[in-house]
Structure 1
Amino acid sequence: MFQALAAKKGAVVRDKTEVVGVRKGPEGGVVVTTGTGEEFHGAKCVVTVGAWTSKLVRSVAGFELPVQPLHTMVLYWRIKPGRERVLTAESGFPTFSSYCDPHVYSTPSLELPGLIKINYDGGPPCDPDSRDWASGGGDVADRVARWIEEFMPDHVETAGGPVSRRSCMYSMTPDKDFVIDFLGGEFGEDVVVGAGFSGHGFKMGPAVGRILAEMAIDGKANTAAEAGVELGHYGINRFDGNPVGNAKN
């Protein structure tokens, strides 16, 4: 939806285009280089590369930003016959998160009729460029199955495992807080970074996108200020000499 709206407004979307470098332009501004050698020139640049953030920031700015990719799996399970309607939003079934071991979350049955998404919130560390797409999530499915058998045995079928497994990645910061800041250094305020959304940033995409755009265009985020949000909490340098960032322990 966002891509379609952006294109309607005149944006050009380049799918499957690997970004390999960001540098200052010879006459100011920013130059973005792709894996095919193509270059894009602009006054500003917003970097939102997810699990590749640490690699890109290291290569273009020379410092370590602790955004750890985790390989997780999106799992869809078959609803037991007769329970299909019970697990829909229309029937009042909620989006929920179970903060036990394992940490499991779910949404109502919606996009795949007869199936429900019940996932493990996390996964093993991975390299985004060389992960095992089929089983890189480790024993995630087995852990979720055991949770289902304990808490929803009459509603969801676990025999044979999940019906659908979709490879996914989290980009985790040590404190699970986002990184929303200017890259700084030689780039100053010409490059804005949005990263480390730690498995829970998707739902905040519209607000974060607006903040990043305001930072790039105006040099400050009026939306955040009006909402009373202190962006310093999400600073890119908060891990300097403090590996846990905003975490209290």
Structure 2
Amino acid sequence: MAEVWDAVVVGAGIEGSATAFQLAKNGCQTLLVEQFPLPHSRGSSHGASRIIRKAYVQQHYAQMMKEAYPIWEQVQQETGTQLYMKTGGLMVAPSSSQQLDQTERSLAGAGSEFEKLISDDLKLRFPNLSFPADYRAILDPEAGVLKADKALRCFQDLFVKYGGRIRDEEKVVRIDPGDVVTVHTSKSTYKTHRLLLLPGPWAGKLLAPLGLQPPLEPVRISVLYWREKQPDTYALKKGFPVFVDHTIPHKYGLPSLEYPGIYKLCFHSGPVIDPDNRDGVAGSHGNQAIVRMMCDYVRKHFPGLESVPAIQESCMYTNTPDEDFILDRHPQYRNIIIGVGFSGHGFKLAPVVGKLLCELAMDKQPSYDMTPFSLSRFHNTATPQAKL
């Protein structure tokens, strides 16, 4: 008889890897399946850096981040790898911003420290930024930078340490639900009591044959790097914070890290694309418009940067309409668990996401209210023609 796994996790991005780690740590015989050779840059979890912060509009994320920080610290200690660099986080917006008001309420509700800055404070503390007099800011003292590539590798290494096995270069081609789920890949077939699907931008393609069509949009993000006119103007070693402009759509920045003397500043949106053709015509045209817009933004607000990007890369988000995650069971198959739609802000929360999905898979009471993450909040997510 073929081996039956306690759990199979599909997708070895940060969410899938953190989930597989939690399952293995909790004693589940777990297999992690990834369609691309590891490591790779074709999904949403590659790159050297991500922002970590407690400052969230949604209080459920502000609460979850209180637990995420200690788990990140545990991963650092267990692997002997520095993943988190504290810089502080500057969240700016016009004084009338309801998003900034709600972020203050969320931080206060979660018992997290923060500092309010009026326009004069902003100019005094950050003279290399230029914002109108009607702007204000929040300073999140615990915000900082996560070393993304290293974080991903750490979760995978810990997963293997706890007995998990990884199979990369295996694309899932069919899933047969049942009390024991059968997962067919391009190379093999696996049987499992629990299947956890964390396929990133490929979620729509994988869920449709299972009768689900949640409102997910894979988008191409232009990751832009800008050369400093004077070295270290916006450098991490000079104490420059991570940055979020809360005017919609958001812009976000990270101090110079990946490339010496070059600042990472991006637009938190992009054109909808096919994840198997993210650099196609639609993505390329959308990228050009975003670069022009960001050049203008840099000229207005970051006078210490050259106003033409020095380096352009790309990434993908998978967005839900409300930008809340989907963390739920399949409505017809309790042993199929879904984690999708991380909307470009899931990386920092991956340790808690992994814990929650592990709890669902093991039929434990979730540590948090799962209502914001329910699949049922979206209507008509079933695919009528699918044969289940």
Q: What TM-score, normalized to structure 1?
A: 0.83
- TM-align CA RMSD: 2.0
**Partner Cα distance (1:137, 1:102) in 2:** 15
Instruction: Decide which of 198, 208, 216 is 1:67's aligned counterpart.
Output: 216
Shift of 1:175: 0.8
- Aligned residue number for residue 319 of structure 2: 172
- Aligned residue number for residue 33 of structure 1: 184
Determine helix, strand or coil for the equivalent of 2:294.
Answer: helix
Q: What TM-score, normalized to structure 2?
A: 0.55
Shift of 1:102: 5.6
- Aligned residue number for residue 284 of structure 2: 135
Determine if contact 2:225/2:312 at 8 Å carries over to the other structure.
yes
5+ residue gaps, structure 2: 1-153, 382-388
Determine if contact 1:104/1:121 at 8 Å carries over to the other structure.
yes
- Aligned residue number for residue 378 of structure 2: 239
Shift of 1:137: 4.4
**Partner Cα distance (1:48, 1:130) in 2:** 20
**Partner Cα distance (2:253, 2:306) in 1:** 15
- Aligned residue number for residue 54 of structure 1: 204
- Aligned residue number for residue 252 of structure 2: 105
- Aligned residue number for residue 203 of structure 1: 348
* Residues 16, 140 of structure 1: alpha-carbon distance in 2 compared, 3 angstrom cutoff: farther
Paired residue type of 1:30 = V
Percent of aligned positions that are identical: 36
- Correspondences of 1:225-236 after superposition (within 5 Å): 229-236=368-375
**Partner Cα distance (2:190, 2:225) in 1:** 39
Determine if contact 1:102/1:144 at 8 Å carries over to the other structure.
no
Determine if contact 1:72/1:136 at 8 Å carries over to the other structure.
no
* Residues 184, 145 of structure 1: alpha-carbon distance in 2 compared, 3 angstrom cutoff: same
2:155 equivalent to 1:2: yes
Q: Deviations over 1:23-49 (max 9, x none)?
A: 225xx3211121x25112111011111
Determine if contact 2:320/2:341 at 8 Å carries over to the other structure.
yes
- Aligned residue number for residue 78 of structure 1: 227
2:239 equivalent to 1:92: yes
- Correspondences of 1:210-229 after superposition (within 5 Å): 210-221=355-366, 224=367, 229=368
Determine if contact 1:102/1:147 at 8 Å carries over to the other structure.
no
- Correspondences of 1:175-190 after superposition (within 5 Å): 175-185=322-332, 187=333, 189-190=334-335
Q: Which has the higher helix share?
A: 2
Determine if contact 1:178/1:194 at 8 Å carries over to the other structure.
yes
Determine if contact 2:172/2:184 at 8 Å carries over to the other structure.
yes
2:286 equivalent to 1:122: no
* Residues 206, 136 of structure 1: alpha-carbon distance in 2 compared, 3 angstrom cutoff: farther
Shift of 1:219: 4.3
Shift of 1:122: 0.5
Determine helix, strand or coil for the equivalent of 1:71.
Answer: strand
Determine if contact 1:71/1:170 at 8 Å carries over to the other structure.
yes
Q: Deviations over 1:182-204 (max 9, x none)?
A: 1121x2x2111111111111111
Shift of 1:135: 2.7
* Residues 182, 102 of structure 1: alpha-carbon distance in 2 compared, 3 angstrom cutoff: closer
Determine helix, strand or coil for the equivalent of 1:143.
Answer: helix
Shift of 1:126: 0.8
Paired residue type of 1:103 = H
* Residues 102, 193 of structure 1: alpha-carbon distance in 2 compared, 3 angstrom cutoff: closer
Q: Deviations over 1:139-177 (max 9, x none)?
A: 222221111110012x1112xx32222221110001111
**Partner Cα distance (1:7, 1:234) in 2:** 29
Instruction: Decide which of 190, 195, 209 is 1:45's aligned counterpart.
Output: 195
Moved over 3 A (4+): none
**Partner Cα distance (1:50, 1:103) in 2:** 21
Shift of 1:63: 2.7
2:173 equivalent to 1:20: yes
Shift of 1:216: 0.9
Pairs aligned (count)? 225
Shift of 1:101: 6.0
Determine if contact 1:177/1:234 at 8 Å carries over to the other structure.
yes
- Aligned residue number for residue 14 of structure 2: none
- Aligned residue number for residue 152 of structure 1: 302
